[in-house]
Chains A and B, each alone.
Chain A
Amino acid sequence: DVKVTQSSRYLVKRTGEKVFLECVQDMDHENMFWYRQDPGLGLRLIYFSYDVKMKEKGDIPEGYSVSREKKERFSLILESASTNQTSMYLCASLFRGYWTTTQYFGPGTRLTVL
């Protein structure tokens, strides 16, 4: 079974704080993704990585950065948290099968910025 874990289920931070969200997968997957989910907006891609130290911007990268120093770990960084970054953050890891290609998600981190 693919396992994707996220460092925290719930986080409360103050405006201006630096926030680290960590994601770990145990399946040696190359591609990893960070999304945020907001009501009525679905899942929106923030950043993704296709290899160690490689990253690409998604659809909404502003206000975020990422780090991928090891294959199994992909971190999302909010340099200076703002209230509009209050959201559910979801990490995913990509499984490539012979017939299928599927992203598997972690449990999510509910971040509240006060």
Chain B
Amino acid sequence: DQQVKQNSPSLSVQEGRISILNCDYTNSMFDYFLWYKKYPAEGPTFLISISSIKDKNEDGRFTVFLNKSAKHLSLHIVPSQPGDSAVYFCAASVAGANSKLTFGKGITLSVRP
């Protein structure tokens, strides 16, 4: 049973435009969400996170939105740059559960120059 779903395997956008990466979850106990970026042959790097007490968190070009009622979160990248081309993983955790993360399968973002 996949508790964190990234239903689109890939996304292609033009440089300078907005990239919107979506993530859905099924476990209502999740209360903390993270996005990671991964280049080939490297480990994932942390991008941004959001707690369930908030519905938006911003860090530079990256904004994460959380809709708890819909069990949906999204990562917005504005403006998109070619260096943003990577695999993006959504992850979720339950407070107190030793901070175990449950990951989605990832989405490959390609930003065209």
Contacts and interface: CB of A to CB of B under 8 A. Distances in A.
Contacts of B60: none
Given A42-B106, A102-B34, A90 B100 contact: no
Interface residues on B, range: 20 to 34
A42 B105 contact: yes
B98 A104 contact: no
B41 to A, nearest CB: 7
Nearest to B93: A101
Contacts of B45: 105
B43 A45 contact: no
A110 interface: yes
Question: SS class of chain A's interface: helix, strand, loop or mixed?
Answer: strand
A58 B34 contact: no
Contact of A40 (B46, B102, B105): B105
B30 interface: no
A107 B89 CA distance: 16
Contacts of B104: 42
A41 interface: yes
A45 B41 contact: no
Interface string A25-58: 0000001010100001111110010100000101
Contacts of B42: 107-108
Contacts of A102: 34, 46, 49
B102 to A, nearest CB: 8
A58 B100 contact: yes
Given A42-B104, A42-B105, A42-B106, A31 B41 contact: no
Interface of B: 6, 9, 32, 34, 36, 41-46, 49, 51, 89, 91, 93, 98-106
30 contacts: A31-B98, A31-B99, A35-B103, A40-B105, A42-B89, A42-B104, A42-B106, A43-B44, A43-B89, A43-B91, A44-B103, A45-B102, A48-B100, A50-B98, A58-B100, A90-B44, A92-B43, A94-B99, A99-B51, A100-B49, A101-B32, A102-B46, A103-B46, A105-B45, A106-B43, A107-B42, A107-B43, A108-B41, A108-B42, A110-B41
